[in-house]
Amino acid sequence: MYYFVTLLFIILSGKAAFFDQLNICWFLIDGVILWVGFANGRFRKGDIRLFLKFSVIYIAFCTFRSILLTQLPLSYWVSDIVFLFKFILTSFLYCALLKEKAIYYLNKVIIDLAILSIPLYCLQLISGDLVYAFGKLINLPYPHFDGYVNFLVFTYVKVHTFRNSGFSWEPGAFGFFLIMALLMNFFLNNFTFDKKTKWLTLAVITTLSTTTYVAFVFVLLLYLRAKGVRIMNILVFVIPLLIVLASSVPFLFGKIADTYYRDMSDMKNIETLSKTYMEMGQVMPLNRFASLLFLSQTFGLKLIWGISNSYQDSIPILGNISISNGIFAFCAQFGMVGLGFLMYRSFLLFQKYTRKTELSIYCLLIVLILGFGECIYLTSLMLAFFFLYHYADPKPISSEQADEATVDQLTTSGLTFS
């Protein structure tokens, strides 16, 4: 049952299926979590106090910001409160249900979905049209663009024919989940390069995502430092490798440079380009650097406390622009104050498992790198980092222990399946 709940939670977090678009799906998933939690006696008074404390601080911050700083209409404040009871609440309920088992099951489900994506990705390379046709045949209602299909555990996007999107909305986002699974797997197996790590590494390679690859380099740095390899020895190996990659792999450093120059060009002509996209009935995409500059120039010091969860509605041009820098998008929503708190809670979780400040800093850098490339801080998985530290138990949990504990609880509550 814990596996099934985690599977629902991860698919919801992947934002690729119809789950994310329908409010009824959020309510149903909350209902499933509550049912399993009460049936197994997993919810305690401390859980209620934790969410109430978080909610009081969150609502007080949003209210103070709305009245004294942004002075926007009431609808913006309402949007912030809805965000709490729709998005953050689901992540909290998941953490409160799984508690010390959350990291284990999150890791297990993401790895299983990553392994499942490999043969589907190979089929995509052989015949993307076949995968697309199959997806269209069983595709559940989801208002997305032509050339996009999702069947819960796998997404095919025609513009990413040679890249693996897995269960998420695009390859870079899938890379975020893979990197997080790598971190969690290292936490659970005491930084051992096991079979699960190899499967995740293979899946990372199939994303062909620049951001994911850069984050993976820091994962390797984290692994080597955890194993006691000296920084100078790592640099002797890494610097020549980076030189080779920079000169031979076009979608790494070359792509970063091309993206930067293209973004600078877009910023010079953003008004004209936006109107052109609007006339074509499309949304103008802003890449990582352009998103950073546009939000910085538009909101300035307001990014310290943020605008609102509905910040796109505060300026007309934003309604026709797609932001792709997760760090600055989150700052526009909840400010550097909110981002700082999320990073602080993440750091505490990392330190609980690594027990070393240096290693925890590497983990935090990885999360920041991933956030710079994709808007991943609003996913259910990342929002769960507000609460995972409170429940995390760094003591190893074997698969046998987790499964036996689940069976015992289900038997006690009368929920076993025949």
Other residues' Cβ atoms within 10 Å of the Cβ of residue 23:
9
Q: What is d(CA 288, CA 404) in angstroms, rounded to the nearest whole number?
A: 45
Are 136 and 203 within 8 A, CB to CB?
no
pLDDT of residue 247: 59
For the stretch 378-393, pLDDT in tens is 999 999 999 999 999 8
pLDDT at residue 297, rounded to an integer: 87
pLDDT at 418 over 90: no
Q: Once rounded to an integer, what is the mean pLDDT over residues 259-287?
A: 64
pLDDT band at residue 137 under the 50/70/90 scheme: confident
Mean pLDDT of the chain: 85
Residue in the block written with tokens 């996007």: 157
**pLDDT tens digit string along 139-196?**
665 556 678 888 889 999 888 889 999 999 999 999 999 999 999 999 999 999 999 9
Q: Does residue 214 contact residue 370 with C-beta atoms inside 8 Å?
A: no
What distance in Å separates the CA atoms of residue 43 and residue 341, rounded to the nearest whole number?
25
Task: Tell me how far apart the alpha carbons of residues 117 and 378 are, in angstroms, rounded to a whole number.
Answer: 23
What pLDDT is stored for residue 22 in this prediction?
A: 82
58-to-53, 61, 84, 248, 337 alpha-carbon distances in Å: 9, 5, 8, 48, 11
Q: Among 209-213, 270-274, 342-346, whose mean pLDDT is lowest?
A: 270-274
d(C-alpha 348, C-alpha 392), whole Å: 10
Per-residue pLDDT averaged across 8-37, rounded?
Answer: 90
Dihedral over Cα of 169, 86, 325, 354: its sign: negative
Q: Give percent of the chain with pLDDT exceeding 90.
A: 56
Least confident of 2-6, 123-127, 316-320: 316-320
pLDDT at 253: 57
Instruction: Tell me how far apart the terminal alpha carbons of the chain are, to the nearest angstrom.
Output: 14
- CA proximity to 106, closest of 392, 396, 381, 408: 381
| Residue 21: per-residue pLDDT | 79
Residue 83 and residue 377 in contact, taking contact as beta carbons nearer than 8 Å: no
- Map 268-329 to HEC letters: HCHHHHHHHHHHCCCCEECCHHHHHHHHHHHHHHHHHCCCCCCHHHHCHHHHHEECCCHHHH
Among 190, 182, 262, 258, smallest CA distance to 217 is for 182
140 touches 17 (CB < 8 A):
yes
pTM here is 0.88
Tokens of residue 371, six digits: 């956030």
Rounded CA-CA distance 25/7 in Å is 14
State residue 147's pLDDT score. Answer: 81
Nearest to 72 by CA among 299, 282, 277: 299
* Confidence class for position 257, pLDDT limits 50, 70, 90: low
Residue 400 pLDDT: 46
User: Which whole number is the average pLDDT over 253-269?
Assistant: 64
pLDDT-derived band of residue 407, with 50, 70 and 90 as boundaries? very low
More confident residue, 285 or 362: 362
Residues 308-360: pLDDT tens digits?
Answer: 999 888 887 777 788 888 999 999 999 999 999 999 999 999 999 999 999 99
- pLDDT of 98 over the 90 cut: yes
| 255, pLDDT greater than 70 | no
Which amino acid would we find at residue 126?
Answer: I
* Across 273-277, average pLDDT: 61
Q: What is the pLDDT of residue 412?
A: 38
Question: What's the mean pLDDT in 76-101?
Answer: 95
Per-residue pLDDT at 416: 36
Looking at 89-103, 197-211, 262-276, which range is the least confident one?
262-276
